[in-house]
Amino acid sequence: MTHMHHSGCGCLAALSRRNLLGFSLGAAALSVAGPALAAGDAYEAMLMKCIDPRFTTYTWKYMSSRGWENQYSQFNIAGGPIAAVAPIFQEWRAAWEANLDISVQLHNVKRLIGMAHRDCGAAALAYGNRIKTDRAFETEMLGQGLRAFRDQANKRQPQLIVELGIMDLNGNVETVA
């Protein structure tokens, strides 16, 4: 059965001229004030990490343990920081760079945290299947990728402090220099 709208049905009350005008003015005010308010906020960090759901809670705990609960933005993409530098993911680079720039602009972040993780399928695509069976090779390749990520980020946003880590399957983080 189809409902036919008419002046007495009550469905259209929310769409009165007065309500629409108020809604329009409110939306216009937010579009002007929203970015200005956000730009004044300063957050500690931006986290770049992989989409792997096994690490969602661990990365949240890591960032919270640093005292940054609700004080960081994040960008999640398959491979995380490896995707920002590995040639196989070149098509994604522009999205990452634009997101970094807007996070710096809107949130005034001071730090960029590049967090790779063990047993990463995207890293295996980037560096080969040996990464799945040779922990030393995995550490070496993830470390190289993370350092390239830091170099790239420093060129784009030289004021940022860039910290790097490899998260293990149990949530422990190994710092990469």
Q: Identify the CA nearest to 127 among candidates 56, 113, 154, 118.
A: 118
Judged by DSSP in three states, 61 sits in: helix
**Mean pLDDT within 16-40:** 40
- C-alpha dihedral sign at 155, 157, 158, 162: negative
**Mean pLDDT within 42-47:** 91
Quote the pLDDT of residue 131.
Answer: 97
Q: Is the pLDDT of residue 30 over 70?
A: no
Between the two ends of the chain, the Cα-to-Cα distance in Å is: 67
Quote the pLDDT of residue 42.
Answer: 78
Judged by DSSP in three states, 45 sits in: strand
Judged by DSSP in three states, 69 sits in: coil
User: How crowded is residue 114: how many other Cβ atoms within 10 Å of its Cβ?
Assistant: 27
Quote the pLDDT of residue 18.
Answer: 45
Q: What is the pLDDT of residues 103-137, one digit of tens each?
A: 999 999 999 999 999 999 999 999 999 999 999 99
How far apart CA 112 and CA 121 sit, in angstroms, is: 23
Residue type at 14 in one-letter notation? A
Quote the pLDDT of residue 40.
Answer: 52
